[in-house]
Structure 1
Amino acid sequence: MSHLTVDLYQSATNPEKFLALPAGTDPTELTGPMVFDRDYGEVVRYREGFEFDAEQTYAGVDAAKIAADILTVRWSMFRRGH
């Protein structure tokens, strides 16, 4: 379970905020992230087909939480370096 292929999106209104989705997921079909934070109402693709390893460290983000979110609700919101 440590490796997931995800697409990463960046908030168009707050470049510090990111959204991770299972690869191939259309972010416009998700309403959850925008309900929790309007900054996710408009996102731009940041990286496609990223091989995400939940056991690695990525710029201070909680990789294990991101992986758990993706596996349970199919998306994860995070801030770079927070």
Structure 2
Amino acid sequence: MNLLTVDLYQSTINPDKFLALPAGTDPDRLTAPMVFDQDYGELLRYREAFEFDPEQTYAGVDAAKIAAEILTVKWAMYSRGS
């Protein structure tokens, strides 16, 4: 799988939770992540235009699952270390 350029956002309510979006996507235009988990209602940009490699390991997260979600639903929620 190819590299994906994503913007990463961190929940200000629970700093262990993150949201990955295709680079340039405005998180304020999304409602679905917040419906599933209200911790995503307040976000802070964590990394911009991050070159995400689905075959790498990032702090214990399932990178392939995150990539699949970004490609299918255009966003991925994940927690650090899970």
SS at match of 1:69: helix
Confirm whether residue 58 of structure 1 aligns to residue 54 of structure 2: no
Once the two structures are TM-superposed, the CA of residue 11 in structure 1 deviates from its matched residue by: 0.2
- 1:15-53: CA deviation from partner (whole Å, max 9, x where unpaired): 000000000000000001000000001100000000000
Q: Show structure 1 runs of 5+ residues with no match.
A: none
CA distance, structure 2, for counterparts of residue 37 and residue 71 of structure 1:
20
Q: Show structure 2 runs of 5+ residues with no match.
A: none
CA distance, structure 2, for counterparts of residue 64 and residue 36 of structure 1:
21
CA distance, structure 1, for counterparts of residue 2 and residue 79 of structure 2:
21
Once the two structures are TM-superposed, the CA of residue 2 in structure 1 deviates from its matched residue by: 2.8
| Stretches of 4+ aligned residues off by more than 2 angstroms | none
Backbone CA RMSD of aligned residues: 0.6
* Number of aligned positions between the proteins: 82
Hey, what does 2:70 align to over in structure 1? 70
- TM, length-normalised to structure 2: 0.98
CA distance, structure 1, for counterparts of residue 11 and residue 71 of structure 2:
21
- TM, length-normalised to structure 1: 0.98
CA distance, structure 1, for counterparts of residue 48 and residue 69 of structure 2:
18
Q: Please tell me the residue identity of whatever aligns with 2:70.
A: I
